[in-house]
Structure 1
Amino acid sequence: MKKPRVAQEAAKTSASPQQSRAAVIDLGSNSVRLVIFEGVTRNPIAIFNEKATLKLGRGLHETGRLNEEGLKRAHTVLKRFNVIARSMKAAPFEILATAAVRDAENGAEFIEILKKHMPNVAIRILSGEEEARYSATGVLCGQPDADGIVADIGGGSLELIHVAQRKMKKASTMPLGVIRLSDRAEGERKKAFELAAKDIGAQSWLKSHRGKTLYLVGGAFRALARLQIARTQYPLNMVHLYTLRPSEAEALCDWILSTPKKALEKTPNLSKKRFDDVPYAAIVLLTLMKRLDPRKIVFSVDGLREGWYMARVGADVADIDPCDAMVTALASRLGRGCQLPDALIDWTQPLFEKDDPYEKNLRKMTCRLSDIGAYDHPEYRAGQTYLRIIHVNGGGFDHQARAFIASALAIRYEADVEGRLLYAAREILSNEAFERATRLGKALRLAYTICGGTESLLKGARITRGGGEIVLQLDRMASFALGSNVKNRLSHLGAAFGEKTRIVTDA
């Protein structure tokens, strides 16, 4: 029998270290980065990721040429990257040059020199549309249902892309990268605002997308997120899918623009090389918000490089949901391989009849992951499972999903609901969401206590909820599992719902 596609993808995720590797060098206006991906998976696995700041685009607006100091350093850095990628046997291996090389009069000459030093490496100068398409594909990699405007800022250009129905619909590119904008404005912020307003205002097609989500991609926008995480002491130091309300984003930008650079540099969690860029990223973001009036702002780490990966390497798995792929991979690698986690989806349904589609999906993922602490030390299962989920790399889990699943599973393994372990989850989730996670965790704990991890015993235990009462009905076989632990955990579940409990047996 052929495995389902998600199961096939999970098998690839956990394959041996000898599996294939692919490498891409993103040669941008501000920096150059080598990323090496391993395997063919729905959630790209980067096993090497290194960046060097070159500022090739510095002075381009005035001279029309790539920065000479940046060019000198570029040759050294790219030779190193070439050796690393070749040593790791990466194939395909490509260099993608973006706005600075695309626009500079000596850009093509620079690429020809690179080809002589790296004769077997594919080097491409991306058009603005190609750059936008890769960025859109990258955002859709982690958020396949994204619907709104992607803003990808680099050193030389800003790409604005409409994504919907899992596709790029329309895109524009403009010279609003942080280095280019600074050069054009001659370092004057008022002039930078005017330039951003003029260039963004010229994109008439944006009018029909007001009120949608704004997805932010690129190092300078990520720097804004890192500053906000640090200044608000947000409990999860993770930029990917970090979300702000428009009022929060506006306050952040105003703070950046009103705070002296030396004071900004005292903010932890950000390289000092970025502090020259963040004011111009803030100017672009404020201008975009004024134009688009977005519903919310979502930061995406997935961008051009992940888009390249999905187009060149992962096209065959692109239509798999990233959360499904992540859940399947974790459950198959860390669980006991039984069918019980899937059966728990139906078993817990009567307790959560009023859940909306998002909440229902969270419950399904939590049930499927409910056995991933099986092989951990009993004293540390709750903590290990919690940290494993809330810090998991990649995937389409937004921060609320991470916090919900992690806390529910920790409680399933008897974590203290009020304990320090769950601090981050409590800070991220609303009171109502944390209460749902607590209830689900206690329901799973009860289920595993009844059946000992076996699906056959669970089939003989039915739980219902109604009339202010939770009833556990056990058939003759399941009733043999009845004991003080089952009674206590049913009582704890009832307390979480604020309802009475009762046990009915067929014995």
Structure 2
Amino acid sequence: MIFPAKKFFNRMLAPSKQSEGVIMKRIGLIDIGSNTIRLVVFEYDKETGLSEIQNIKTPARLSQYLEDDLTMNQEGIDVLIDSLESFKKVADAYKVDELHPIATAAIRQSKNRDDILKQTKKKLGIKISIVPELDEAFYGFYAIINSTDIENGLSVDIGGGSTEVTLFKDKELIHSHSFPFGVVTLTRKFFGDAAHDDKDAIKKMQKFLEKEFSSLSWINNQEVALVGVGGSARNTARIHQSEVSYPIGGVHCYSMTGKDLDQVFNLIKDSSRDELTNLDGLSRDRVDIILPAVAVFKALFKQVEATQFTFSRKGLREGYVMHHLNEKYPDAFDRFNVQDRALFQLSNAYKHEQSGAQQRVVLARDLLEQLTAIDKIALSDKEKRLFEQAAYVYYLGRFIDSDSGSQHTYYIISNSMIDGFNHHDRVKLAMMASFKNKTLLKFYNNETGWLDSDELSDLQSLGGIIKFIDALNVSHTNPVKRVELEKKDKDNYILNAYHTGNPIAEEYQANRQKKHLEKVLKSKVSINFTKS
């Protein structure tokens, strides 16, 4: 499907009834888990989307304060209260509009949870919400479908005391389940005082996981993506990126194979504790619990017959906030429009001129369709969409510095967490959107080495078309309304540029940049500016 530029921009630029007047909203979320307690301060703005402006944590390990009868002792309650008091002060300093303390497995499983809630309410005036097991699974799923392009998958979120899985198809939830074990409980159950590389403990844990996961018939042989969320999945992705010297930033939408998971698992298993403490990508507070986490991912990958293991940076916390905002403002997120919305918000964040961007997409699509009709270019629907998206964010980085707009554009796009884009597509988008010349394009490709000569040549052609189209609106006043390619003879074409006003700057710049169009046509081009 071709990127519906005009319809998309009209919809996004028009104020909605639900969001009209909403400028900014700050939400503080305190995630009380079994392993860590974390405060995240989110800021939502209709134009720039949901952003994280603060993220701090403490490794409280609340599950270790649960007695054998699942009663949390007073020491654990005091740790919780001290953490909440500190985080509440931080949230107040950020002037949050709403503070949402939410608790998962450790408090949910506590027999004395009512007493825990009463103590925190009395001492701090804070009301903790207990997240039910299935809701915890739902929020992770909700974050995934609203921040990635994965339509069919099985999500997994392993915390300290529970593991949530959801199966979704066409971005609709099909099944969900919460297992009553997590990284802390697995470590305690199978390792105790044993070393993390104890072969007998590992074998028993793997057998246990295989039995637990095989009990859910609906996860067997699904052949979909396994999508990990949460800190353990993030650390797994970062360890692998470090091992392969990954060339671009960010772990959101980073994908690994089953062999990659095996590589990370073996690296952890074969490393001493001191080596794990200094292992790039691994947080020090996860050194003693990371192996059970990767074992869970490996076991699920095999059970599902997964096509890939992909990490989503957005999980329970983001899903909770997204769902909360969507209930108040129904157009805040759209799972079927993730990429386009993300680019719109990125564009606004860098003060990209919207009217000119919209017209650039219209003209770029118009010219591409004509080139396709005469067999000068052949693209898949996905490639067409990526081309039009690149036309939209072309030279986004000139906001930072106009003289180095290409370099800034490439760096921003290739290293930003842009929802809905896998890393390879993100780099291709960055290359087209930053296109200046062949030399610079090759320089960018050297950073990753992902594209072969044919792919690089195609991107050069597409980037050149966008650069030429940009020249038709160098004044940013949208004088050119449409373009029409006309074949004059065997070696010559005429491009009719229908315009309003007096596009003097456009005439000069277009004639300078027409070489990019001539390269695609393999013919000379004369530009005829005609009154519309």
Secondary structure in 2 aligned to 1:395? Answer: coil
Specify the alignment match of 1:322 in structure 2: 338
Between 126-135 and 3-12, report the one with greater CA deviation. Answer: 3-12
Specify the alignment match of 2:495 in structure 1: 473
Out of 434, 440, 447, the residue aligned to residue 469 of structure 2 is 447
Alignment partner of 1:396 is 2:416:
no
| Cα distance in 2 for residues equivalent to 1:104 and 1:431 | 60
Specify the alignment match of 1:365 in structure 2: 389
| Cα distance in 2 for residues equivalent to 1:147 and 1:470 | 48
Unaligned 5+ residue runs, structure 2? 1-8, 193-200
Between 253-262 and 446-455, report the one with greater CA deviation. Answer: 446-455
Cα 1:86–1:266 shift into 2, 3 Å:
closer
Between 234-243 and 83-92, report the one with greater CA deviation. Answer: 83-92
Give yes or no for contact 2:475–2:506 (8 Å, CA) kept in 1: no
Give per-residue Cα distances to partners, 1:332-381, cap 9 Å, x unaligned. Answer: 45233324323223233344653223222211211111253454433211
Give yes or no for contact 1:366–1:405 (8 Å, CA) kept in 2: yes
Between 181-190 and 468-477, report the one with greater CA deviation. Answer: 468-477
Between 87-96 and 72-81, report the one with greater CA deviation. Answer: 87-96
| Cα distance in 2 for residues equivalent to 1:493 and 1:455 | 22
Specify the alignment match of 2:272 in structure 1: 260
| Cα distance in 1 for residues equivalent to 2:86 and 2:417 | 26
Cα 1:469–1:348 shift into 2, 3 Å:
farther
Specify the alignment match of 1:335 in structure 2: 352
| Cα distance in 2 for residues equivalent to 1:231 and 1:430 | 23
Specify the alignment match of 2:215 in structure 1: 202
Write the mapping of 1:141-220 to structure 2, written as runs, cut at 5 A. Answer: 141-143=146-148, 145-187=150-192, 188-207=201-220, 210-220=222-232
| Cα distance in 2 for residues equivalent to 1:306 and 1:127 | 16
Give yes or no for contact 1:382–1:415 (8 Å, CA) kept in 2: no
Residue 65 (structure 1) shift: 3.7
Give yes or no for contact 2:27–2:41 (8 Å, CA) kept in 1: yes
Write the mapping of 1:425-440 to structure 2, written as runs, cut at 5 A. Answer: 426-429=448-451, 433-440=455-462
Alignment partner of 1:345 is 2:362:
no
Specify the alignment match of 1:276 in structure 2: 288
Give yes or no for contact 2:223–2:307 (8 Å, CA) kept in 1: yes
Alignment partner of 1:50 is 2:21:
no
Give per-residue Cα distances to partners, 1:227-269, cap 9 Å, x unaligned. Answer: 0011110012311110112232233223322333322333223
Code of the aligned partner of 1:335: H
Instruction: Tell me the number of residue pairs that the alignment of Structure 1 and Structure 2 aligns.
Output: 497
Secondary structure in 2 aligned to 1:309? Answer: helix
Give yes or no for contact 2:474–2:509 (8 Å, CA) kept in 1: no
Residue 24 (structure 1) shift: 1.3
Alignment partner of 1:111 is 2:117:
yes
Code of the aligned partner of 2:313: V
Residue 137 (structure 1) shift: 0.8
Specify the alignment match of 2:102 in structure 1: 96
Alignment partner of 1:136 is 2:155:
no
Cα 1:290–1:70 shift into 2, 3 Å:
same
Cα 1:354–1:278 shift into 2, 3 Å:
same
Give yes or no for contact 2:258–2:298 (8 Å, CA) kept in 1: no
| Cα distance in 2 for residues equivalent to 1:378 and 1:487 | 21
Residue 325 (structure 1) shift: 1.8
Cα 1:449–1:87 shift into 2, 3 Å:
closer
Secondary structure in 2 aligned to 1:104? Answer: coil
Code of the aligned partner of 1:154: G
Give yes or no for contact 2:26–2:41 (8 Å, CA) kept in 1: yes
Code of the aligned partner of 2:388: K
TM-score, normalization by structure 1: 0.87
Residue 437 (structure 1) shift: 2.9
Specify the alignment match of 1:239 in structure 2: 251
| Cα distance in 2 for residues equivalent to 1:468 and 1:301 | 53
% identity of equivalent residues: 22
Specify the alignment match of 1:81 in structure 2: 87
Residue 473 (structure 1) shift: 2.1
| Cα distance in 1 for residues equivalent to 2:173 and 2:506 | 56
Give yes or no for contact 2:366–2:482 (8 Å, CA) kept in 1: no
| Cα distance in 1 for residues equivalent to 2:134 and 2:425 | 33
Cα 1:301–1:374 shift into 2, 3 Å:
closer
Give yes or no for contact 1:468–1:500 (8 Å, CA) kept in 2: no
Alpha-carbon RMSD across the aligned residues, in angstroms, is: 3.5
Alignment partner of 1:386 is 2:406:
no
TM-score, normalization by structure 2: 0.83
Unaligned 5+ residue runs, structure 1? none
Out of 27, 31, 42, the residue aligned to residue 22 of structure 1 is 27
| Cα distance in 2 for residues equivalent to 1:488 and 1:287 | 58
Cα 1:39–1:289 shift into 2, 3 Å:
closer
Give yes or no for contact 1:334–1:374 (8 Å, CA) kept in 2: no
